[in-house]
Structure 1
């Protein structure tokens, strides 16, 4: 541990990302959760990790309106490469599944107005056993990715030691900068060191990474979502100040459109990830997306909140004995996002409260728009009583914004039912 801390102190003085990227949380599509390491293109050609899969998903992002809403990244994960490097030590895409190579795929993605992300691992091998980017290969791999004109690198941490990570993650940041190509940098470093100080130096991460995985991989289940939400809220005092333009906490992919979430749970994940100022990377089959799930993921007000230029991560501010939680995220123009989240499993719950109870103590007149229903709630002051009806495992989400100062601080109270 002492060696790791010493290394961290040294690299903090030397490296800085300085790429100007990801001033708002990145959005796009990532292969891993839905497609994992499916390399069986003979029996499952439509769903294997291949050039064709990524081109198909790029087409869907463009033709179904995703790109124009901000979903601009198409990200390759593990299992894209050959089991060995070539004679010059260079990584090689599997020639059967990527017959034209990664540069060709990058060109195609760019021609569609999108960006291409790629995956590597800092250890001796990737999590699925392919060649890793060991310390002696970091510069070579950064140059290779730049020559292919990729736009983002996710650097995993399987089969690495704490010392490898303390040297390798900053070294890759420096190597990416040195290529001269703007390549966004996603680090899995904190997830492999427990996610918390003192083992994790978030001040350093803010200087070398655009985003980072803090915690375990998400799985296609509501329980997995809740586990991640619980970890993020338990440690929000540490995590929340670390997020901001150019550097984001990453609770992992969106499951919406897969198998494990109900409709209400899908709406909840989208709302909570937005409150967390999280990257929005879908991992689902865009070719078979239902209209219902598409509506959740393409909600324009939700995306506007996620992409708020202030870049402040929200917090859980209240947890009641009735299994209701309230989350608030400050936004630009003195607006806020509020999520009323139910962990109940019985029936819709009527939650009574006021803005003052949610720490809004100013003398402003507010209006709120329900993010999912688009209903407008007018005439809200700090002391206006209101009720929201929250479905089991569901959310009510508000975009709250001031419309004027109060001339009469003793304005009459009203009671609103939503």
Structure 2
């Protein structure tokens, strides 16, 4: 990085107000589409499972009617593949009209009317990971304003098709832009996951000033091997990671896959227990419409949730490896 890039970075950071808006003082809880439903956009032949407004309305209904909301699961989160392939005439992101015919603002009202909150997805690069329109540096302000105007409550800001300089400029700039909207919006940064997750490439002090939570490592997959890999990485690097966590600033080992296909009941209990101990976001990615009783009991375990939601916000540590 040349001197001019460093100067620009420092200028952006100096203009970025700390993201201390009182949000996410405990790890966020809710539901996210990605791990279970991926980029299924075939609403003609797979209307129950495609990335469209029906899926998110269904999950909002389940959170309210099946006892999740009262336990703290309050976010319904859209991930990749929700947009049209082109921005509108004003340069704004827009949802795919065939899959979100009512628009995002109407979906947000539906979710808010049920006492829940809406999360949405964007990417700092030229494209999202699935090659939908990204949010490069010159689009950050308009996208933050658009999300706020729709009533969005949470943004996951991914990092595909971008580079380290764009990360260093764009993630603080989005924090500033979200703050400037005047709407409280939780901010999840994927920055560390694209820079190896560890110092010196990752500055966790800075992250704690601009983001509420951040993805540190690889995406979770629907397998016990994937869960073990994530747990091992967090434990092996806990001296760097554990001090970074606290109220309003969380490490995110990725979604809970309990209730899908890859975990036994014992393995599902282990993921829930370890995510609770790690003060991790409890963001499920499963089909709440077809959840068996064992998965429901694990995910609704009040003791595990209470440990996770401890207001002290201390991330647990591995004391012994056997």
Same fold (TM over 0.5): yes
* Equivalent residue, structure 1, for 2:184: 182
Q: Which residue of 2 aligns with 1:224?
A: 226
1:196 aligns with 2:198: yes
SS in 2 for 1:102: helix
In 1, Cα distance between equivalents of 2:202 and 2:2: 13
Task: Check if 1:147 corresponds to 2:114.
Answer: no
Q: How many angstroms does 1:239 deviate by? A: 0.3
Match of 2:300 among 279, 298, 301: 298
Between structure 1 and structure 2, the one with the greater Rg is: 1
Counterpart of 1:345 in structure 2 is none
Q: What residue number does 1:289 align with?
A: 291
Deviation at 1:20, TM superposition (A): 1.3
Secondary structure at the residue paired with 2:283?
A: strand
Which protein, 1 or 2, shows the higher relative CO under an 8 Å CA cutoff with sep ≥ 6? 2
Question: Residue 245 of structure 2 aligns with which residue?
Answer: 243
Separation (CA, whole Å) in 1 of partners of 2:10 and 2:268: 41
Pick one of 29, 34, 38 that aligns with 1:27. Answer: 29
Question: Whose helix fraction is larger, Structure 1's or Structure 2's?
Answer: 2
**Superposed counterparts of 1:16-415, under 5 Å:** 16-320=18-322
**1:237-278 C-alpha deviation (Å, 9 max, x unpaired):** 000000000010000000100000000000000000011000
1:54 match: secondary structure? helix
CA distance in 1, matches of 2:101, 2:121: 18
CA positional deviation for 1:86: 1.0
Structure 2: gaps spanning 5 or more residues: none
1:203 Cα deviation after fit: 0.6
Name the residue aligned to 2:14.
13
- Aligned 8 A contact 1:8 1:201 in 2: no
Q: 2 CA distance for matches of 1:147 and 1:20?
A: 20
1:312-331 deviations in Å (ceiling 9; x for gaps): 000000113xxxxxxxxxxx
SS of the residue corresponding to residue 309 of structure 1 reads coil
Looking at structure 2, the residues matched to 268 and 309 of structure 1 have their Cα atoms a distance apart, in angstroms, of: 22
Separation (CA, whole Å) in 2 of partners of 1:234 and 1:244: 19
SS at match of 1:317: coil
Alignment check: 8 A CA contact 1:154 1:188 kept = yes
CA deviation profile, 1:161-215 (whole Å, cap 9, x unmatched):
1111100000000000000000000000000011011111111000000000000
Contact 1:116/1:150, CA 8 A, preserved across alignment? yes
The whole-number CA distance in structure 2 between the counterparts of 1:310 and 1:214 is 21
Q: Which runs of 5+ in 1 are unaligned?
A: 321-418
Q: After superposition, what is the alpha-carbon deviation per residue over 1:127-162, rounded to whole angstroms, capped at 9, x for unaligned?
A: 001110010000000000000010000000000111
Structure with the largest fraction of strand? 1
CA distance in 1, matches of 2:2, 2:228: 34
Deviations 1:37-63 (A, max 9, x none): 000011110000010000000000000
Residue 8 and residue 223 in structure 1: after superposition, are their counterparts in 2 closer, same or farther (change >3 A)? farther
User: Which whole-Å CA distance do the structure 2 matches of 1:85 and 1:91 have between them?
Assistant: 5
